Amino acid sequence: MIPDSLRHHLDATQRQQTISWEGRELVLFNQPWGELAINLQGAQVLHFAPAGESDWLWMTPTPQSLPGAVRGGIPLCWPWFGDERYADESPDRSGPFHGLARHASWRLDAVDEHEEGIEAHLSPQTRLHSLLNVRAVIQANAKRLHVEIISENSGETPVKISAALHTYLAVDDIERCRIEGLAGARYLDKRRDFAEAEQQGTLAIRGPIDRIYHSNAPVLLNDGERRLRIAKHDSDSTVVWHPGDDAPSDTPPERAREFICVEAANTRLDPVWLVPGAQHVLGTTLSRG
């Protein structure tokens, strides 16, 4: 469920409009196929709901003020994930946790609109990295949501990057969640100093979790109310995260039970080396399971 103030704007939107919300510029779509809200701070999808369905994504009802980022939706973590800045390879290694993209101002370069849905192309208003160009593509229709972040090395030396599409999925209750498709995958447990283990069977959420699974397979999220398939592109890391009872400061504790993060990522398990002129596309696709 999105904040009432954003709900009001979406209800008043006919096809597409740009609004100011919580000090941020948002692009809203309310069309026969469904609804989409894109935050131009970070090129972040905040809301997606096919026609007649509830939100597929979760966002906090109490977002922090600027320059902080909005928790929820699909933040873009780039050109590093977490605090892995690869100091030995990149001159642009200072900056916030999860990288530069999610705090930056982006622009909407183009929207391809058709009966079945839309495709939006976005790029940062200012260059974020001395050697890398980045852009985002968002595709939405009545059957799926696809988001990708495209990195290109425009410099003259190789660059090592990590990244993630930090997807907050809406669920009825975190303890009723089941994630299928990770059985047998090895993972690093960030809560146990990156200790390695193997997933046994279906993953159930019982308290805080922060794991990096070494897997490129799609997974299925089942919370008893809905089944979502989460597929990905050019990613061998699947991050599963939930804070448990220790809710972030910008999230009411009772609302923290309403999401689970399942992220397509490139992490320390599969960092990306881009040689000059090379391009990498990290993508995630949500569809009905």
pLDDT at position 225? 86
DSSP 251: S
- pLDDT average per 10 residues of sequence, the chain (289 residues): 93 96 97 97 98 96 92 96 60 70 97 93 96 97 98 96 97 95 98 97 96 98 94 98 94 94 97 97 96
Q: What is the number of other CB atoms lying within 10 angstroms of the CB of residue 100?
A: 20
Domain encompassing residue 128: 4-288
Across-strand partners of 285? 146, 231
Across-strand partners of 138? 120, 147
Q: Is 89 left (phi over 0), alpha (psi -120 to 50) or beta?
A: alpha
Contact 187, 269 (CB under 8 A): no
pLDDT at position 88? 40
Q: How far apart are CA 61 and CA 248, in angstroms?
A: 12
pLDDT at position 87? 39
State which amino acid sits at residue 77: C
pLDDT at position 15? 95
Residue appearing with tokens 């696709």:
285
Residue appearing with tokens 């804070």:
243
For the chain, the domain total comes to: 1
pLDDT at position 289? 85
Residue appearing with tokens 């692009």:
27
Q: How far apart are CA 106 and CA 101, in angstroms?
A: 9
Give Cβ neighbours of residue 52 (< 8 Å, ≥ 6 apart): none
- On the question of a cis peptide bond just before residue 79, with omega within 30 degrees of 0, the verdict is yes
| Helix, strand, coil percent content, the chain, rounded in steps of 5 | 10, 50, 45
CATH of the domain at 58: 2.70.98.10
| Three-state secondary structure of 100-166 | CHHHCEEEEEEEEEECCEEEEEEEECCCCCCCEEEEEEEEEECCEEEEEEEEEECCCCCEEECEEEC
Instruction: Determine the length of the chain.
Output: 289
3-state secondary structure of 62: coil
Give Cβ neighbours of residue 278 (< 8 Å, ≥ 6 apart): 152, 153
Give Cβ neighbours of residue 236 (< 8 Å, ≥ 6 apart): 214, 215, 216, 266, 269, 270
* Tokens of residue 217, six digits: 């397979």
pLDDT at position 89? 44
* pLDDT tens string 251-270: 999 999 999 999 999 999 99
The secondary structure element, H or E, covering residue 203 is strand 203-204
pLDDT at position 1? 80
* pLDDT tens string 90-105: 445 556 788 999 999 9
pLDDT at position 77? 97
Q: Is 70 left (phi over 0), alpha (psi -120 to 50) or beta?
A: beta
